[in-house]
Amino acid sequence: MAKPPVISVVGFSNVGKTTLMVKLIRELKRRGYRVATIKHDVHGFQMDTPGKDSWKHAEAGSDCVVVSSPDRLAVIRRLDRELTLDEIVATLPDVDIVLTEGYKRGDKPKIEVSRAARGTGLLCSEDELIALATDQKHDVRVPQFDLDDAEGIVNLLERLYLRE
């Protein structure tokens, strides 16, 4: 099983990372790729309820709670320390591409989302970026796409990472 390419969608908070993620996922799925997505939640997340019963297992102290259904498998692991992106990717099933939301300090190629309403600066340096998704012009030598140009960005991803 070859390692899939891992691309990080980054940007300041509330800039529209999830919105772009959703558009990229839809476009990649439309083209038939198997996609995994990883959301970096630095604040920890609330334990919600894929099947309320089973979540009682977690509250009772289970280190790894699994819910298995005919079409989905949900797993929540309790961790002693946060896993690195590479450690997470190593546990994934076989996919063609992994998109992360966040991991701005990771070492993966990045697409930065930038919106004028949230500021004019960029989080990343030119050499970290493979693309910008933005509604303003930035003075960097990186391909720049409209915020909703998932097709253009996926064309770039295909060219860089998904062709044999």
Q: Which residues contact 11 (CB under 8 A, 6 or more apart)?
A: 17, 104, 112, 113, 114, 123
Element (H, E) at 85: helix 85-91
> What is the smallest separation between the CB atom of 114 and its own copies, expressed in angstroms?
18
Q: What is the 3-class SS of 15-27, one letter each residue?
A: CCHHHHHHHHHHH
Among 1, 13, 32, 79, which residue sits at the site for its own copies (rule: CB under 8 A)?
79
Rounded Cα distance between 157 and 163, Å, is 9
Taking CB under 8 A as the rule, does residue 50 contact its own copies?
yes
For 16, other C-beta atoms within 10 Å of its C-beta total 21
Q: Of residues 90-129, which lie at the interface with its own copies (CB under 8 A)?
A: 91-93, 95, 101
Under rule CB under 8 A, residue 81 binds its own copies: yes
**Does 3 interact with its own copies (rule: CB under 8 A)?**
no
- Under the binding rule (CB under 8 A), the answer on residue 14 touching its own copies is no
Give the end-to-end CA distance of the chain in Å, rounded to a whole number.
15
As measured in angstroms, the least distance from the Cβ of 100 to its own copies is 9
Which residues contact its own copies (rule: CB under 8 A)?
18, 21-23, 25-26, 29, 34-51, 53-54, 56-57, 59-79, 81-83, 88, 91-93, 95, 101
